[in-house]
Amino acid sequence: MLAVDSAPMDLTLYQWILGGCATLFIGFSKTGMPGAGIIVVPLLAEALGARRSVGTMLPLLIFSDLFAVAWYRRHAKWDRILGLIPWVAVGMAAGVLALKALGEAHGPQDRMNQLIGILVLLMLGLRLAQNRMGGRITPHSRGAVAVVGAGAGFTTTASNAAGPIMAIYMQAMELPKTEFMGTTAWFFFLVNVAKLPLFIALSYANPANPLVDADTIRTCVALAPFAALGAVLGRRLLPWIPQRAFDGAVQALAALAAVRLILR
């Protein structure tokens, strides 16, 4: 059975501040600047622990997805989503196997720290390569779309860090901004909802090291107002924020946090 407690996780003030900041960026990335999401993964892992952060982040993502879907629901390009789904499913299956193996591993270190840190650095590297090379690394062929779908499925399942992969895919489709936001919103909402029963099943299979339990949900409820605030701020402040400076700061902080996770 999943563990049931009477209060959210016993966190320090430092952990709550980190968790609140990370959750603010979740909402902000869903409605304003998708690139802001990359910092959430290492920050939440630092605050809650790697494995616990993956399960805690998922309900917060779904909650924030609702804002994005509500605001951009009419602008989705469904043909861009449907072509990815079979390959995303393959990647998700691989991600589930990775989470199962890491949850059953024994040793002095939590290997989830290393996995999340490495994936975040890879995603940052992918974004930097895209910024530098532009259209020369765009996934137009069937094989490239398969790689994108499988990669997105694995990274979103193993660490909730598929944002940069999907950003490159959507940019390659040359979608207008509203269609970019609407298509991305629907894609991640559907994928995140599909992940929830998988995380619950993994938690029942390994109750000593769950991804999602009652305590996780209570922590999500406590952090949810930050996600709502971030979603509103993302929509309101987007026109006023210098994109390049913001992206650079977020990527630098995410890289530092990822390295800390790897060396932890």
pTM here is 0.83
Query: In the prediction, which pLDDT does 7 show?
Result: 46
pLDDT > 60? residue 89: yes
pLDDT band at 252 (very low <50, low <70, confident <90, very high): confident
pLDDT score for 166: 82
pLDDT above 90 coverage of the chain, percent:
32
> pLDDT per residue over 70-85, tens digit each?
988 788 888 888 888 9
Question: Closest Cα partner for 264 from 38, 16, 46, 54?
Answer: 46
d(Cα 38, Cα 58) in Å, to the nearest integer? 14
pLDDT of 139 strictly over 70:
no
Top mean-pLDDT range of 33-42, 54-63, 139-148? 54-63
pLDDT at 93 over 90: yes
Summary mean pLDDT of the chain: 82
- Which is higher by pLDDT, 91 or 127? 91
- pLDDT for position 195: 96
Average pLDDT rounded to a whole number, residues 165-190: 82
Lowest mean pLDDT among 2-11, 44-53, 159-168: 2-11
Whether residue 165 contacts residue 126, with contact meaning beta carbons closer than 8 Å, is answered with yes
Percent of the chain whose pLDDT exceeds 70: 84
CA 192 to chain centre: 9
How is 170-236 classified by DSSP, letter by letter?
Answer: HHHTT--HHHHHHHHHHHHHHHHHHHHHHHHHHHHH-TTS-SS-HHHHHHHHHHHHHHHHHHHHHHH
Contact assessment for residue 114 and residue 261, using Cβ atoms and an 8 Å cutoff: yes
pLDDT digits (tens, 9 = 90+) for 120-138: 888 778 777 766 765 555 6
**pLDDT of 242:** 67
Q: Which residues of 91-128 are buried (b: 16+ CB within 10 A; e: fewer)?
A: bbeebbebbeebbeeeeeebebbbbbbebbbbbbebbe
Q: List the single range of 89-93, 207-211, 220-224 with lowest mean pLDDT.
A: 207-211
**What is the residue type of 112?**
M
